[in-house]
């Protein structure tokens, strides 16, 4: 059961041009197009007449024409022309979804349109953010989005899955992640997970900026419906010891990077993963290093998760075994269950 009252990433804004763009989101067929003023429109990709796909239709100015029998729909979904029929009942319409473009992302509200609240759009640092160098990325998964969400909520897997990428091929770098204690806090619509890596080896891609060892503060928020916002800050060795236990640093780090990611369910067995990952400041060369690193690392995740999905599907009766490292996924599951319950009551 997917949360409805939330903004899902439908794609990067740059993915939506002047053509009709069909997308499957949360098992719903949706077609995107832009009006003459460039406004992005999202409508159900199903003509109410004989259920032909509107994505096989034609954009006419601001409107969309079904090319089976010619019904014409306005951006708000209302039918404004029925060939051979003078009156148009108000009930002849398609569902129109609220869409907002912000931070370089096209966000779509999958719940009741009247509930859409733009203050719930997550604080992405998009490709045009002045303080960060970000190259937008996308990866398609043959897996349920829950498995990707659980992967992001528990970064202890970096130790094992990402030895070649984030560890730079050095197991001592990646395996330091497995033993770092985490602090988990419930926040509005999600959880916050923080950890200190004290006097840990720096991966090769960071060492030029940080030196070979450092104290690493890593903090991420995971928010409904599948938004991951992670900041990594590197300090001189000894910094963490000077702070109170687990305290969040308020001093300027030697180096910091940020990644914002969004997982969107397409169907129950396919998902789309949008990400930006880059260093602070205007640094296109280093941004490219981070982008390549993200592709390598997220491919490692994808291969593991798709294989995990196959094992799960081969015997759905098998249950997972919860362990201490599953604290954040468990906490988030509680937040999600509460919201699902609230939505079910209002449905
Ligand atoms: S199916 Fe669209 S007009 Fe007939
Ligand atoms: Fe990962």
User: Ligand 1 center to residue 53 CA distance, Å?
Assistant: 8
pLDDT at 132: 86
pTM of model > 0.85: yes
Ligand nearest to the CA of 149: 2
Sort 319 into a burial class: Cβ within 10 Å, 0-12 / 13-18 / 19+. Answer: exposed
Instruction: Indicate if 75 and 167 belong to the same structural domain.
Output: no
Q: How confident is the model at residue 219 (pLDDT cuts 50, 70, 90)?
A: very high
User: What is the separation of C-alpha 258 from the centre of its chain, rounded to a whole number of angstroms?
Assistant: 14
> pLDDT at residue 244 above 80?
no
User: Ligand 2 center to residue 301 CA distance, Å?
Assistant: 5
User: Ligand 2 center to residue 149 CA distance, Å?
Assistant: 10
Q: Return the axis-axis angle of helices 284-314 and 145-153, rounded to nearest 10°.
A: 120
Ligand nearest to the CA of 220: 2
> pLDDT at residue 245 above 70?
no
Atom of ligand 1 nearest to the CA of 50: 1
Atom of ligand 1 nearest to the CA of 54: 2
Which of 133-137, 195-199, 203-207, 210-214 has the weakest average pLDDT? 203-207
User: Ligand 1 center to residue 57 CA distance, Å?
Assistant: 10
pLDDT at 246: 64
User: Ligand 1 center to residue 65 CA distance, Å?
Assistant: 9
Percent of the residues in the chain that have a pLDDT greater than 70, as a whole number: 99
Instruction: Indicate if 153 and 74 belong to the same structural domain.
Output: no
Q: Tell me, what CATH number does 35's domain have?
A: 2.102.10.10
Residue nearest to atom 1 of ligand 1 (CA): 50
Instruction: Indicate if 111 and 141 belong to the same structural domain.
Output: no
pLDDT at 228: 97
**pLDDT tens track for 270-308:** 999 999 988 888 888 888 998 999 999 999 999 999 999
Ligand 1, pocket residues at CB < 6 Å = 47, 49-50, 52, 66, 68-71
For the chain, what is the domain count? 2
Q: Tell how strand 105-109 and strand 99-102 pair up.
A: antiparallel
Instruction: Indicate if 279 and 313 belong to the same structural domain.
Output: yes
Instruction: Indicate if 37 and 150 belong to the same structural domain.
Output: no
Instruction: Indicate if 194 and 326 belong to the same structural domain.
Output: yes
Q: What is the mean pLDDT of residues 20-25?
A: 98
Structural domain including 328 reads 137-340
Q: What are phi and psi of 7, to 5 degrees?
A: -90, 120
Of 47, 65, 79, 82, the one to substitute when testing ligand 1's pocket (max ligand atoms within 8 A of C-beta) is 47
Ligand nearest to the CA of 94: 1
Atom of ligand 1 nearest to the CA of 70: 3
pLDDT at 224: 97
Instruction: Indicate if 115 and 141 belong to the same structural domain.
Output: no
CA distance 65 to 20: 11
Residue nearest to atom 3 of ligand 1 (CA): 69
Q: Tell me, what CATH number does 226's domain have?
A: 3.90.380.10
Atom of ligand 1 nearest to the CA of 66: 2
User: Ligand 1 center to residue 71 CA distance, Å?
Assistant: 6
CA distance 54 to 328: 41
> What number of H helices and E strands is found in the chain?
7, 18
CA distance 202 to 114: 48
Of 58, 66, 82, 94, the one to substitute when testing ligand 1's pocket (max ligand atoms within 8 A of C-beta) is 66
Instruction: Indicate if 143 and 110 belong to the same structural domain.
Output: no
CB 339 within 8 A of CB 189: yes
Sort 250 into a burial class: Cβ within 10 Å, 0-12 / 13-18 / 19+. Answer: exposed
Average pLDDT value for the chain: 93
Instruction: Indicate if 104 and 171 belong to the same structural domain.
Output: no
How many Cα atoms within 13 Å fall on the side-chain side of residue 32?
Answer: 24
> pLDDT at residue 323 above 90?
yes
User: Ligand 2 center to residue 81 CA distance, Å?
Assistant: 50
Task: Collect all residues with Cβ–Cβ distance below 8 Å to 290 and sequence separation of at least 6.
Answer: 133, 135, 205, 257, 277, 278, 279
Q: Is residue 1 part of a domain?
A: no
Instruction: Indicate if 237 and 274 belong to the same structural domain.
Output: yes
């Amino acid at each position: 059961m997917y949360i409805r009252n939330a903004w899902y990433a439908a794609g990067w804004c740059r993915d939506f041009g002047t053509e009709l763009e069909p997308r499957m989101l949360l098992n719903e067929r949706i077609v995107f197009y832009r009006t003459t003023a460039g406004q992005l429109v999202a409508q159900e990709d199903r003509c109410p007449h004989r259920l032909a796909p509107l994505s096989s239709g034609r954009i006419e100015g601001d409107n969309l024409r079904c090319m089976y029998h010619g019904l014409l729909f306005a951006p708000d979904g209302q039918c404004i022309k029925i060939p051979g029929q003078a009156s148009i009942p108000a009930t002849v319409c398609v569902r129109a979804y609220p869409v907002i473009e912000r931070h370089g992302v096209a966000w779509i509200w999958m719940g009741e349109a009247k509930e859409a609240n733009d203050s719930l759009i997550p604080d992405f640092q998009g490709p045009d953010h002045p303080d960060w160098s970000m190259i937008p990325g996308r990866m398609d998964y043959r897996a349920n989005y829950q498995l990707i969400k659980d992967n992001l909520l528990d970064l202890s897997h970096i130790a094992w899955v990402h030895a070649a990428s984030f560890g730079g091929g050095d197991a001592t770098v990646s395996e330091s992640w497995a033993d770092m204690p985490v602090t988990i806090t419930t926040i509005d619509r999600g959880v916050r997970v923080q950890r200190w890596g004290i006097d840990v080896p720096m991966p090769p891609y960071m060492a030029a900026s940080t030196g070979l060892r450092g104290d690493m503060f890593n903090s991420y928020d995971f928010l409904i419906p599948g938004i991951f916002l992670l900041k990594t800050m590197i300090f001189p060795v000894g910094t963490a010891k000077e702070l109170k236990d687990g305290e969040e640093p308020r001093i300027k780090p030697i180096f910091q990077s940020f990644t914002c990611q969004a997982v969107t369910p397409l169907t129950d067995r396919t998902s789309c993963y949008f990400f930006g990952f880059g260093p602070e400041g205007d640094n296109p060369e280093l941004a490219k290093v981070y982008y390549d690193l993200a592709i390598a690392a997220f491919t490692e995740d994808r291969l593991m998760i798709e294989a995990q999905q196959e094992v799960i599907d081969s015997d759905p009766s098998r249950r997972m075994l919860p362990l201490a490292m599953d604290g954040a996924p468990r906490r988030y599951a509680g937040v999600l269950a509460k919201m699902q319950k609230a939505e079910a009551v209002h449905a």
